[in-house]
Amino acid sequence: MAHFLYISDVFCPWCYGFSKNIAKIKKKFALPFEVYAGALVEPAVDLETRVEQSPNVQAFIDKLYAATGVKISDDYVNMLFSGNAKNIFMDSKKASRLFYVLKHFKPEFALEIMEFLQFRFYNLGKDIFAEDTVHSFAETFAVSSADIFKYLHDEQSEIASHEETEKGFDILGEIVLYPTLYYVENNVNHFISRGYVNYEDCEKAIFAAMRATENNQDGQPAVLMGKSCSLDGTCG
């Protein structure tokens, strides 16, 4: 079945900015999304250290808003500079496991779960690893918090989430950038975009991929490249 394959990262700001375009794509094409969480921030880093490493936080936030129209909130900024910042961590491995566990209970809402986690971090300014993340998810998606915590601490979920992250790496190949979007049909992955790309260009690329599939054309159209976050944790 035709669908989209989306590789994102909870802590990728350009992925958060791309969420508005992803929502438009979902509404326009009404196709399922297969979603993988990435490994942008490894090893884990606390927010206090992250700010020290990236002192021009506000300039980047302004740049993101100018490009995407998606605003990172003042609550997020306040979290960065709070007295508790050294106790809040960005950890993509742990976030990928959390995403996998939540998706286990509501796989049909994989895209919404990724957006749920990114929204809590970049809009609500909350530590996604705090227990209230699970409680909020459970309330929103009508799932038992106890069941989520049980599976979250099950060794099998750690193994399975690691395997899924590795599968995402295999799909991306040598160029690991977030976000990355594919259109998939007949078991063929058609690149749509790497990094943040505006909606209009994404739409054109999707229609081109659909036409290529219908006409049994070989080859891959030029991949749309945009602002992205790479495996070394840097965001352009």
Closest CA to 192 of 231, 220, 228, 227: 220
Establish if 48 belongs to a structural domain. Answer: yes
Q: Please compute the mean of the pLDDT values over residues 192-209 and round it to a whole number.
A: 96
Q: Give the pLDDT score at 231.
A: 46
CATH of the domain at 88: 3.40.30.10
For residue 216, what is the enclosing H or E element?
none
Establish if 36 belongs to a structural domain. Answer: yes
Establish if 18 belongs to a structural domain. Answer: yes
Percent of the chain with pLDDT over 90: 85
Establish if 70 belongs to a structural domain. Answer: yes
Beta strands per DSSP E along 80-160: 89-90
Q: Give the pLDDT score at 55.
A: 77
Beta strands per DSSP E along the chain: 3-8, 33-37, 45-46, 89-90, 177-178, 180-185, 188-194, 224-225, 229-230
Q: What are phi and psi of 73, to 5 degrees?
A: -80, 165
Mean pLDDT, the chain, rounded, equals 92
CA–CA distance, 158 with 186 (Å, rounded to integer): 31
pLDDT in tens, 130-169: 999 999 999 999 999 999 999 999 999 999 999 999 999 9
Establish if 147 belongs to a structural domain. Answer: yes
- Which domain covers residue 80, as residue numbers? 3-230
| Residue 7 bridge partners (DSSP) | 36, 180
Q: Is the peptide bond before 221 cis (omega within 30 degrees of 0)?
A: no
CB 5 within 8 A of CB 184: yes
CA–CA distance, 72 with 139 (Å, rounded to integer): 24
Establish if 139 belongs to a structural domain. Answer: yes
Establish if 235 belongs to a structural domain. Answer: no
Look at the chain and report how many structural domains it folds into: 1
CA angle 176, 116, 166 (to 5 degrees): 30
Sign of the dihedral through C-alpha 22, 66, 47, 175: positive
Establish if 236 belongs to a structural domain. Answer: no
